[in-house]
Structure 1
């Protein structure tokens, strides 16, 4: 095993912390037409493109959204090519991506590089809106809140640490919503107006 000096480790860590993701959006399917690339959050893609029908993730992970300002149907995309946004988002719209959010990689940490530390992750789940009803604190993936906590649904949450995906159905199925540290008093504040509950949740742990 090759071992590095402390200075080498700090140098390696500094280089990694400078690395960011990159996603390229295209007006037409199959990466045709005008394009726009970004490495950060973009609340309104129509400021740069009249429509968006395909995308390519060159590095990192992103959430892409059906509507501006990180609202509506959303999907996490990793490094790879997505030639048809209709298939990606499961929509029937001709230009379904209107905004995107960069998901920071948990691997950009000296602790993860050298100690294989993944975390911390911590959130509080609430059965009702405005932090009402049952409350349970979670620090790991949960496949089914009904089975684990006898909660019929989750309608608000407080994310203290880490980045998570919330799923409409048990076993990480159905539509998904991305949440990062902050308070979410209702589903609308999480960015989705068409879902009425969450039944499972998963930590975003991979480095994409």
Structure 2
């Protein structure tokens, strides 16, 4: 279990217009439904911490990882439209461990990782995983090697099917620990 002492506060600001113009909303933690705060979002500032933003409420739909920085035009810089409907702050932790399983319900061949893996196929000699258990830390899973393609945020817990992490297939191309909180 994580202690609250390890969690750092984050701050993200959503702007309705590009270049940090128009109506804005500040957020310092998880928000399952941002729709009541703004109609559209075309630029974002992350003043501290790291966040995942989602195109649909309740942390659903396409997701995008944002670290500290300025994103003046969501479509050009991040590759998403103006529809941001939920966000989740990623807490800072000290240790990382994940177990990937060949079959559903954490069965079959298992591989354990404690560090980044730019190419799962090269390192583990397989790339289709149907379940996983994030024992420690917060991770980004990508469907393509070298941290490319669709990204999925994995928090500590059991993912009994690849659809539990939002995956559209069991393909895992690369994995990265979330460590850049400055």
Report if TM-score (shorter chain) is over 0.5: yes
1:80 corresponds to 2:69: yes
- Among 53, 65, 83, the alignment partner of 1:96 is 83
Change (3 A) 1:163 1:18: closer
Task: Tell me, in whole angstroms, the C-alpha distance in 2 between the residues paired with 1:67 and 1:188.
Answer: 16
Task: Tell me, in whole angstroms, the C-alpha distance in 2 between the residues paired with 1:121 and 1:76.
Answer: 18
Task: Tell me, in whole angstroms, the C-alpha distance in 2 between the residues paired with 1:32 and 1:202.
Answer: 33
Question: Does the CA-based 8 Å contact 1:62-1:78 persist in structure 2?
Answer: yes
Asked which structure has the greater CA Rg, the reply is 1
1:182 corresponds to 2:157: yes
What's the secondary structure of 1:55's corresponding residue? Answer: strand
Task: Tell me, in whole angstroms, the C-alpha distance in 1 between the residues paired with 2:43 and 2:163.
Answer: 26
Question: Does the CA-based 8 Å contact 2:7-2:91 persist in structure 1?
Answer: no
More helix by share: 1
Q: Which runs of 5+ in 1 are unaligned?
A: 1-15, 107-118
TM-score, length basis structure 2? 0.88
Q: Which runs of 5+ in 2 are unaligned?
A: none
Q: CA deviation at 1:141?
A: 1.3
Question: Does the CA-based 8 Å contact 2:127-2:172 persist in structure 1?
Answer: no
Post-superposition, which runs of at least 4 consecutive aligned residues in structure 1 deviate over 6 A? none
Q: CA deviation digits over 1:181-203, x for unaligned, max 9? A: 0111223321x354552221011
Task: Tell me, in whole angstroms, the C-alpha distance in 2 between the residues paired with 1:128 and 1:145.
Answer: 16
Report the equivalent of 1:113: none
How many pairs are equivalent?
A: 179
Task: Tell me, in whole angstroms, the C-alpha distance in 1 between the residues paired with 2:164 and 2:7.
Answer: 30
TM-score, length basis structure 1? 0.77
Report the equivalent of 2:9: 20
Question: Does the CA-based 8 Å contact 1:73-1:89 persist in structure 2?
Answer: no
Q: CA deviation digits over 1:29-74, x for unaligned, max 9? A: 2222211111101111102112222111111111111211111211
Change (3 A) 1:195 1:96: farther
Question: Does the CA-based 8 Å contact 2:71-2:78 persist in structure 1?
Answer: no
